[in-house]
């Protein structure tokens, strides 16, 4: 990949205003941008051909083989307080789904931050924040999208993982530019309206809607019930034996209950 070529593709989409960086290798694009957030003047996209210390939610590692995934982070400034970013991971999931669907790869979403293809994880989102010196918040939005999944990498991960080999045949600069364009548009919408305008869109893509699930935190079952989508506050709605409850996003995982 090449930053100048990526920028040309991005400008061709009538999109401007984002600094673009491409590096062959780094530990974590999220960590790189967080370390610089206090000095940023405008949004920055940082793409790595390979991450050696990629991270997922709850401190888990994100593993990928060199050249087999699209790994990037986007630093984006929001003028409001941190509490107004509730639901941002879900909105980013909707944006990624829109971008992938337009490229011929239909996906579904798993609460709170996974993109699924045929029931397996295709992409994940990690958002970290830092107060901006002039007010508001810098959100560093990291994403990893599997394009190819070598057998040895899937064995290292230890579970079935999805890939999108069709996208791997695209020019990577053009692919990243298209994803960035959709993401930037949706982030602008989120900045103005929060998660509420994304709620119905997320629910249409909900992979587990109507299925019996369990909510697990560090191996312990917290709740069981039927997944009923999310509300305007991005909380997962669960129909339990005692009635409907709302689960706030956190260090939890959602799995289909075995019969």
| 244 in Cβ contact with 238 (< 8 Å) | yes
Q: What is the pLDDT of residue 14?
A: 60
To the nearest whole percent, how much of the chain has pLDDT over 70? 85
Mean pLDDT score, 150-172: 71
Fold topology of 3-198: BirA Bifunctional Protein; domain 2 (3.30.930)
Question: pTM for the complete prediction?
Answer: 0.89
Label residue 29 by pLDDT band (50, 70, 90): very high
Label residue 182 by pLDDT band (50, 70, 90): very high
What distances in angstroms separate CA 60 from CA 47, 54, 55, 109, 228, one per listed residue?
20, 9, 6, 19, 27
Mean of all residue pLDDT scores within the chain? 87
Label residue 70 by pLDDT band (50, 70, 90): very high
Domain 212-256 sits in CATH at 2.30.30.100
Dihedral angle over CA of 87, 11, 25, 121, nearest 10? 40
E strand or H helix at 162, and its extent?
none
Q: What is the pLDDT of residue 244?
A: 96
- Sequence ranges of the domains in the chain: 3-198, 212-256
Q: What is the pLDDT of residue 60?
A: 52
């Amino acid at each position: 990949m090449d930053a100048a070529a990526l920028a040309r593709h991005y400008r061709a989409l009538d999109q401007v205003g984002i600094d673009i960086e491409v590096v062959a290798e780094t530990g974590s694009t999220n960590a790189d941008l967080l370390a610089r957030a206090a000095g940023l003047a405008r949004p920055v996209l940082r793409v790595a051909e390979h991450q050696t210390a990629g991270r997922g939610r709850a401190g888990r590692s994100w593993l990928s083989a060199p050249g087999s995934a699209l790994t990037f982070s986007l630093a984006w400034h929001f003028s409001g307080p941190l509490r107004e970013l509730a639901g941002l991971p879900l909105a980013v999931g909707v944006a990624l789904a829109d971008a992938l669907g337009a490229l011929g790869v239909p996906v579904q979403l798993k609460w709170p931050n996974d993109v699924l293809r045929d029931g397996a994880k295709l992409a994940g989102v990690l958002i970290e924040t830092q107060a901006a010196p002039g007010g508001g918040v810098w959100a560093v939005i990291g994403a990893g999208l599997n394009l190819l999944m070598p057998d040895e990498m899937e064995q290292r991960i230890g579970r079935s993982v999805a890939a999108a080999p069709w996208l791997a045949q695209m020019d990577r600069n053009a692919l990243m530019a298209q994803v960035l364009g959709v993401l930037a548009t949706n982030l602008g919408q989120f900045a103005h309206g929060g998660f509420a305008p994304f709620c119905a869109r997320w629910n249409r893509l909900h992979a587990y809607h109507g299925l019996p699930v369990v909510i697990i935190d560090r191996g312990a079952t917290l709740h069981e019930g039927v997944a009923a989508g999310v509300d305007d506050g991005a909380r997962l709605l669960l129909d339990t034996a005692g009635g409907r409850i709302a689960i706030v996003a956190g260090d939890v995982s959602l799995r289909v209950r075995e019969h």
